[in-house]
Amino acid sequence: MKNKEISLKLSAVALAILLVGCGGGGSDGYYGGGTSQVKPENSNGIQQPTLSALNISDVKLIDTNNLNTAIITSAGVLATVKVTDQNGQPVSGALVTFTGENVIFGTSNGAVITNLDGIANISVKPLDSKDTGSYKLSASAESNEKTAKSNDLYFSIEPFKTKLLDLTAVPNEIDAGGSSTITLKTVDPASNAIQSNVQVNFSANCGTFENNSVLSNQGIVETKYIAISSGGQLCTGPQVISALANNGAISSTVNITVKSIKANSLVYTSNEIKLGTVNSGSSTAGQVEFTVYADNVPAKDQDVRVELINAPHDLSFVSLGNTESKIIKSDAAGKVVLNLYPGSLPGPIEIKATLVSDPTIFALTKSVSVATGRVSQNGLSLAVSKNSLQWDVDGDKATITARLRDRVGNKVPNGTVISFVSEGGSITPNCSTADGECSVTLQTQNPRPLDNRVTVLAFVEGDKQYIDKDSDNRYTAGIDELVSNIGDFFRDDNENTIFEAALGEFLYKRGATGATCAPSTFKQPNIAGTCNTGLEAVIREQLVFAFSDDTPTVTSANINSDKTNFSFKLFGNTLRSVPMPTGTTVDVVAEDNTDKNELSCTAELWSGNPTVASVFNLLTPSTFVNSSQVNYSYRLKGCGTGDSLILSVTAPNGKITKDEFKLF
């Protein structure tokens, strides 16, 4: 029995030793935080050896070269302590907590567990790499309710310093747009020991890098220099490449030679260009662009010969008045930009650009032309959605569309402005052309002229119509002939073709003199004695609109003697100078009031519009009364004495007016 007890005691001791030998381990990685281990405690009922005292060594700092240090840089250090028992034996599984000023530790709480050798390691870095100064750091240990605290370690935070060695470029002579591999080493300034994780930044007076900010790996830094600027231009000539570490190291440089640019392509790089003639009032000049490339990269400082191949004979390029070929250098973006100065002739333009260094490489312009001029006197057209509006309401609208072309039939330049004034109602003051046309809106409101007729005047800067007798497409006074000379003009409110200031008619004056003016017309009002022999003029065109009543005026009603036709005229005012408003409906219904025959009286529209038309020729107030546009005729069938015809007129606002006509 006694031997059995001794055997059990020995087994318990052996097991206790085994459990202590399997104690915890700290961080053995440079930036690691350590691996937690289970603290020695009772296991399977076997008591561990008693810990009566806990000791902790002073904190030591180990740098990246495995040397003791009292300096911490942005590269970081390893803080280490050893925990032992009362017998100086290592204590594994003890909790060690590090504390320090202006530093951060490898674990979030600064705590790690000792390893089998009682060692606890933790990484330490400055809280801010820009900080400097001296501080203190300590550690405390805890195990089985025993604690220990180290003495304070005083340390300094200093900038991390690096020396750059062996900066090289291979090859050191490259083509424009080519590349070279750049390498260097990062080492400690004092010991030349390798330094890793050092950020090195690269720069060059011209060129870019595959990566211009690189972290050293085992002390090695590598990147690629490319002889193309950040703006996409090719670099040439001597280039200085600089390397600078982010921790105050002295920069290092290496020289590379970039060979001259070898251009190998030339491309026309403009979009479609349509220029106005010199007297068009639009742009008086334009530009076309070619781009020189070397292996698909824009090439600067390349000589390019440009020449006119096809163009109107009065067009000049490069400089005003020049028609001769010129040599131009490409700019920093590889571009050759040419000014174009159109004359008065329209037509296509073709310019050839050729590389002086290789005449087999050339390009031609595409889709360039002189195509537009100012509106000509006979090139203004006005169209309306309707010209008979309802007088009795505000806001009845009509759209006026202006279409403008130049002397040779081209649409005027986009943005040409045409203006409008109106005798009554209100009108959009102007519009700008797009694709040769634009629109404004006339609408009913006060004032409303008593004669129900509203004059609208449109006008735009342009050129007089002329006969080009010398066929140069340019007007020359004394040689070419003006077709209808115009000068100052007015809005002809009473439609008599004469300006009457007493009526307050709108007047537009330019004050020209010296030539006979064409007669004034309603469409083209003109004031005598205000013309010259020049080409420029304000082109004008005039329209008249009806502001019509919703109550019809019916005249000339007639039923012929054999009762087979009913005719009448329909007006929109008592002066009989306008039609009913557009959209008015007209209907005649026959009433058979006799039973003395077997016939049934019917009325069928024979001529005229059942719905009043959109557009009328309003003529003049005195002639519109006899206009056939307001005539209506109905064919009667089976009608006799005593029958009736009911004329119904419904205005756009819904007002219905009826008249009854008896057959006698």
Find the mean pLDDT for residues 307-317: 93
C-alpha span between 607 and 600 (Å, rounded): 22
The residue with tokens 């069938």 is 637
Residues of the chain within CATH 2.60.40.10 domain(s) are 2-157, 163-258, 265-372, 380-547
pLDDT > 70? residue 282: no
C-alpha span between 340 and 480 (Å, rounded): 27
So what's the pLDDT on residue 51?
A: 84
pLDDT > 70? residue 391: yes
pLDDT band at residue 370 under the 50/70/90 scheme? confident
| Cross-strand pairs, 147 | 142
**Each residue's pLDDT tens digit, 179-224:** 999 999 998 887 788 888 888 999 999 999 999 999 999 989 999 9
Q: Which CATH class is domain 265-372?
A: mainly beta
Q: What is the residue type of 483?
A: V
C-alpha span between 536 and 365 (Å, rounded): 33
C-alpha span between 493 and 422 (Å, rounded): 9
More confident residue, 198 or 560: 560
Task: Output DSSP code: residue 652.
Answer: T
pLDDT > 70? residue 77: yes
Is residue 336 a contact partner of residue 365, using CB atoms and an 8 Å limit? no
Find the mean pLDDT for residues 121-135: 89
C-alpha span between 404 and 281 (Å, rounded): 14
The residue with tokens 């300094």 is 156
So what's the pLDDT on residue 23?
A: 36
So what's the pLDDT on residue 277?
A: 81
Q: Which CATH class is domain 163-258?
A: mainly beta
So what's the pLDDT on residue 35?
A: 36
Helices (H), 310-364: none
The residue with tokens 């012929």 is 560
pLDDT band at residue 616 under the 50/70/90 scheme? very high
pLDDT > 60? residue 26: no
Find the mean pLDDT for residues 76-93: 94
Architecture of domain 549-662: Sandwich (2.60)
Give percent of the chain with pLDDT exceeding 90. 73
Work out the mean pLDDT of the chain and round it to a whole number: 89
How many residues are given for the chain?
664
pLDDT > 70? residue 367: yes
C-alpha span between 302 and 356 (Å, rounded): 8
C-alpha span between 92 and 81 (Å, rounded): 12
pLDDT band at residue 63 under the 50/70/90 scheme? confident
Q: What is the residue type of 641?
A: T
Architecture of domain 2-157: Sandwich (2.60)
pLDDT > 80? residue 8: no
Query: Please, what is the end-to-end C-alpha distance for the chain in angstroms?
Result: 159
pLDDT band at residue 163 under the 50/70/90 scheme? confident
593: part of which helix (H) or strand (E)?
none
CA 164 to each of CA 226, 245, 441: distance values in angstroms, whole numbers, following the listed order: 22, 8, 77
Q: Of 548, 465, 463, 538, which Cα lies nearest the Cα of 506? A: 538
So what's the pLDDT on residue 418?
A: 97
Find the mean pLDDT for residues 56-80: 90
So what's the pLDDT on residue 598?
A: 64
- 3-state SS, residue 461: strand
So what's the pLDDT on residue 17?
A: 32
Residue 376 φ/ψ, nearest 5 degrees = -95, 165
Find the mean pLDDT for residues 87-105: 95
Whether CATH 2.60.40.10 fits 380-547 = yes
Least confident interval from 71-75, 151-155, 623-627: 71-75
So what's the pLDDT on residue 131?
A: 82
